[in-house]
Amino acid sequence: MKVIAAYLLAVLGGNACPSAGDIKKILSSVGAEADDDRIELLLSQVEGKDITELIAAGREKLASVPSGGGAVAVAAPAGGAASAAPAAEEKKEEKKVEEKEESDDDMGFSLFD
């Protein structure tokens, strides 16, 4: 990631086609070690390509990747049905507490009376 970040910083700085030396210079300025193999791999993969097109293609690929949310509910353990009942009871209790707090906040008068 640090090699990619250094490459993107060089492009952002106005260098449309950073070299291995440019990337090494950026990495050394922050005290990071430069891995020559990774730098050469990155440069060979982005050679002759527009960075904005690469980023746009990457965004399209990331849009199709599931990113959590409902996956937790699907992966419930075998005893999930037994644990669902206490969770429902907790929700009911929370609703009762919230209703009670709302009535306490009202204090019997309205701001516009």
Per-residue pLDDT of 43-101, as tens digits, reads 999 998 988 999 999 899 888 888 776 555 545 555 555 545 555 555 555 555 555 55
39 has pLDDT over 70 = yes
CB 31, CB 2: distance < 8 Å: no
CA 78/CA 63 separation, integer angstroms: 32
CA 17/CA 8 separation, integer angstroms: 10
Assess if residue 71 is contained within a domain: no
- Which are the contacts of 38, defined by CB distance < 8 A and separation ≥ 6? 3
29 has pLDDT over 70 = yes
The number of distinct structural domains making up the chain is 1
CA 88/CA 94 separation, integer angstroms: 10
More confident residue, 99 or 32: 32
Assess if residue 35 is contained within a domain: yes
Assess if residue 72 is contained within a domain: no
CA 25/CA 48 separation, integer angstroms: 22
Assess if residue 7 is contained within a domain: yes
Which residue range is the domain that position 13 belongs to?
2-62
Report the CATH number at residue 39: 1.10.10.1410
Assess if residue 92 is contained within a domain: no
